[in-house]
Amino acid sequence: MVTSVKVDNPEDAAILVLILSELRSVERKHPNWPECNVKRSAIVMEEAGELIREANQLEEGKGSLLNLKMEAIQTAAMAIRMIKNL
């Protein structure tokens, strides 16, 4: 098991911390994770859908970069959760 990761710059480290923090938060809030890989994938895709929706809103002048970043973090966290549970 890897207990440390070397990153090239502080920005990468900060992004990883945000993703892992989101992962821990959602695992506490929703401890049950489906056994079905289709349902797991659907959760990841739901987050990805919210990400593309926010990107579209930003392009239309209605969204924000902060919201886009948060949706990307949530999508990454769910992808990691799926990988963890395979």
**Annotated domain spans of the chain:** 34-86
This model's pTM is above 0.85: yes
The position carrying tokens 């440390």 is: 4
Query: How far is C-alpha 75 from the geometric centre of its chain's CA atoms?
Result: 3
- Per-residue pLDDT of 9-53, as tens digits, reads 999 999 999 999 999 999 999 999 999 999 999 999 999 999 999
Going by pLDDT thresholds of 50, 70 and 90, the confidence category of residue 76 is very high
Going by pLDDT thresholds of 50, 70 and 90, the confidence category of residue 64 is very high
Contacts 24+ apart (CB under 8 A), 32-37: 33/81, 33/85, 37/86
Helix, strand, coil shares, percent, the chain, to 5: 75, 0, 25
